[in-house]
Homo-oligomer: A and B are copies of this chain.
Amino acid sequence: MLKKLQQKGMIKGFKRTPQRLAILDHLDGNKSHPSAEDIYRVVARKNPSMSFATVYNTLHTLVQAGAVRELTIDPDRKRYDPDTSGHHHLICLGCRKVVDIPGDIPVDVPRGMSNEFSIVGNHIEFYGICSHCGKPRK
């Protein structure tokens, strides 16, 4: 998905600026579920002129394009995931690290809601403590 955006002329009206390419490059295959600031911090090292606005604008564009998923997993900030395939997440209650739970997990769609809602998807958050952390925070 991100590869497509990195290639010339693949998307109409999408300009491949150095800033965007740097962000795409950093995001591609990234499994750390970074926040906007995480991304800025890393990308700004090599692109000293990079601004926060550009990171936010680019993320917004990528989310709109469906190339990046915005995660509502951290109560304090949005996090971004370049993996748009259906998968779930495990959050360490100690350090807030987020790791992927690959693959399908069958969930029984609740019955009784069928008339009021048409259900289009789901997302499971697992809470745990990673081996580096001892005690929960949440």
Residues of A participating in the B interface, judged by any CB pair closer than 8 Å:
70, 72-75, 78, 90, 92-93, 99, 101, 103, 105-110, 113, 115-131, 136
Contacts and interface: CB of A to CB of B under 8 A. Distances in A.
Contacts of A127: 119-123
State the copy count for this chain: 2
For chain A, what secondary structure do more than half of its interface residues adopt (helix, strand, loop), or is it mixed?
A: strand
A37 B75 CA distance: 16
Nearest to A103: B110
Contact of A101 (B99, B110, B128): B110
B108 A119 contact: no
Given A123-B124, A125-B123, A117 B92 contact: yes
A90 B103 CA distance: 21
Contacts of A116: 99, 130-131
Contacts of A120: 93, 127-129, 136
B105 A126 contact: no
Given A117-B90, A120-B136, A105 B110 contact: yes
A74 B128 CA distance: 21
9 smallest CB-CB distances across A and B, nearest first, come from A117-B128, A119-B128, A72-B75, A121-B127, A122-B126, A101-B110, A123-B125, A124-B124, A118-B129
Given A72-B73, A107-B107, A124-B125, 9 more contacts: A99-B117, A109-B126, A115-B131, A117-B128, A118-B128, A119-B126, A119-B127, A122-B124, A124-B124
